[in-house]
Amino acid sequence: MGHKEDLFQNLDAAIPGLRRYARALCPGDGSAAADELVQAALERVATKIKAKTLGIGEDDAARLCAYASLTALAREKSGGSSVPRPCEREQIVAQGLANLPFVERASLLLVVLEGLSYDAAAGVVAVPREALVVQLMRARAALSSVDLRPPAPPMDGVRRAGAHLRVIK
Amino acid sequence: MPSDSVEEADLHALVDGEISAERRRKIEDHLLQHPEDAAQVENWRRQNAALRALYAPVAKETPPLSLRNAAHRNAAAGPAPIETGAIHWGRPSNSSRTVRRLDEVREARRKKAIISSLLTLLAGAVLAGAAVFAITHAGVSRGSVPQVTFAQGYVDRADVSYLTYVRDSKPIDIGADRMGDLIAALKLRVGFARAPDLSSVGLRLLGGRVAPGLLAPAGFLVYENDNGARVALYFERAEAGPAPRIAPRVDSSLTAIEWRGAGMAFVLIGPLGSEAMQISAERAAAEILAPALNEAPYP
C-alpha cells in the first residue's frame, strides 16, 4: 500500500516535466492538447499502478511509464508521420523540432529536456540503446542546420521613431 | 571528425553526461586537438540550451486542476473535475482511450451537452406554459365558488405590510401624538380617516402610515400591547376588491381577521392568539361603525 502511494506521489511529481515534454513533443498542437496527452498518460499509469502491473522495486518506474505512455499516445496521435506541423509561435527551435521525425524528436527531448539517461530514454521510446543514440545523432544533425541563435530584439524604438517623426528642416 | 579512439557517439555521450570521468578526460583531450569536433560539441550544447530555454517555463507553470489528481484516478473513477465556472463540454478521462478517441469522445460529449441544453430549454418551456395555463384558467376551473387567491387578497397585502413595516425600527410615519396629521394623511390618500381606539382591549395606538394597497393606497395603523406585541390594522377601499375571507387566517406566527365596513376592507393582523385577535377585531369594527363616538378622541 505504501509503495503504491509512493508510486502515485512520484507520478504527481512528474507532472511538470510531462507537460514540458508533451508541449515540446507536439510543438504545433498547443497547451490544451498537450495537457490532454499528459492526462491520458497519467490515467494510463494510474490504472497500471492500481492493477499492480507496474514494475515494483524501481522508484522511477511510474515516471518512466508515464513518459512511455505519453510518447506512445503522441506517436499514435501523429499517426507516425513526420510531416511538420505549423508552429504556433513560429519559433525557430520549435519549428526545427517539428521538422524532426517523431522518434528522433522524442529521443532528443527525453535526453536533453527531461534529463533521462540513454537507457531510460531507450526504454521509453522502446528502442535499443544503440538505436537511441543513432536517433540522437540524426536529430542533432538535423537541428544543426537550424539557426538556433535567439532572434535579434526588434528595434521598436528606432522603427517607431522613424514612423512618426518628420524632418521639418 | 572523431579520431580512431573517440567515436561520434562519445561526443554525444559527453554532451549528455553519459560517460565516465576517465573517458571524459580522454575525450576532452581529443577536443583540444580537434577544434572541429570541439565546435560540434559546442553546437550541440547550444542546441540543448536553446531547447531548455524554450520549454523550461512550461514546467514552472501551475498544472491544471484536471492533472493534479489525474494520477490517482483510473478509468472507473469518473471524469476529471471541472476547472472553471464556464460551460464544460467534457474532458477525456478514460485511461484506455487513444488520443484519436479523445477527440471523438469530446465531440460526443459536446453533442450530448447540446442535446441536454435543448432538453432543458424544452422542459422549461413546458413548465412555463403549464404555469401560464394554471394562472389564466384557475378562476374558470373553479366555477362560481368565490376564491381569494394568495396573491390577490387583502389579508396577504396586510401580511406583506406587516412584515415590511412592523418589524422595522420605524414602523410608522406619523405618530399618535400627531393624530391630526395622521387623520389628514389617511383621508387624503386612502379616503378613510378613522383610527379605532383599542385601548379597551389592551392595544395602544403607536401611529400609522400610508402603505401600498391591493388596488389603491391603504391605511396602516400600528398598535402595541403591554408585552410589546404589535398589531396592525390595514384598510383599503374595497369597492372592486375580492370578497373577504370568512374564517381568520392563522399561520405559525400571525393571525389575520378580515371584514368589510363603510366601503372599506379591513384586516387586523398580529401575533396574538385567535381569540384575542377576534375580540380586538370586533372592537375595531364597532369603533368604525360608531363614528360619532370615535371622532371625539381623534378630531
ipTM: 0.77
- Give pLDDT < 70 ranges for chain B: 1-4, 65, 68-105, 137-152, 239-252, 291-299
**Structure confidence at residue B94 (pLDDT):** 43
Residues of B whose CB is below 8 A from A43: 70-71, 73-75, 93-95
User: Strand order of the sheet with strand B264-270?
Assistant: B174-175, B204-211, B218-224, B230-237, B264-270, B255-261, B249-250
pLDDT digits (tens, 9 = 90+) for A116-164: 999 999 999 999 999 999 999 999 999 887 766 555 554 444 444 333 3
Shortest distance, CA A57 to any CA of chain B (angstroms): 19
pLDDT digits (tens, 9 = 90+) for A64-118: 999 999 999 998 887 655 544 545 444 677 888 888 999 999 999 999 999 999 9
CA A67, distance to chain mean position in Å, is 10
pLDDT digits (tens, 9 = 90+) for B223-243: 999 988 999 999 988 766 566
Mean pLDDT of A15-33: 87
Residues of B whose CB is below 8 A from A140: 12, 44, 47
Mutation target for A interface from B61, B95, B100, B102: give the one with most A CBs within 10 A. B95
Q: What is the phi/psi pair of residue B208, to 5°?
A: -160, -175
Question: Between chains, do B93 and A43 touch, taking CB under 8 Å as contact?
Answer: yes
**Structure confidence at residue A97 (pLDDT):** 86
**Structure confidence at residue B245 (pLDDT):** 61
Residue B105 contacts A, CB cutoff 8 Å:
no
Domains of chain B (ranges, CATH numbers): 8-60 (no CATH), 154-294 (3.30.200.100)
Closest CB from B50, B67, B95 relative to A38:
B67
Closest CB from B43, B70, B91 relative to A42:
B70
In terms of C-beta density within 10 A (0-12 exposed, 13-18 middle, 19 or more buried), how is residue B299 classed?
Answer: exposed
Residue B73 contacts A, CB cutoff 8 Å:
yes
Residues of B whose CB is below 8 A from A30: none
Q: What is d(CA B239, CA A81) in angstroms, rounded to the nearest whole number?
A: 87
Which fold is adopted by the domain A2-147? Answer: Butyryl-CoA Dehydrogenase, subunit A; domain 3 (1.20.140)
Q: Where are the beta strands (DSSP E) in chain B?
A: 174-175, 204-211, 218-224, 230-237, 249-250, 255-261, 264-270
Mutation target for A interface from B36, B55, B89: give the one with most A CBs within 10 A. B55
Which of these, B193, B231, B191, B197, lies nearest to B213 by C-alpha position?
Answer: B191
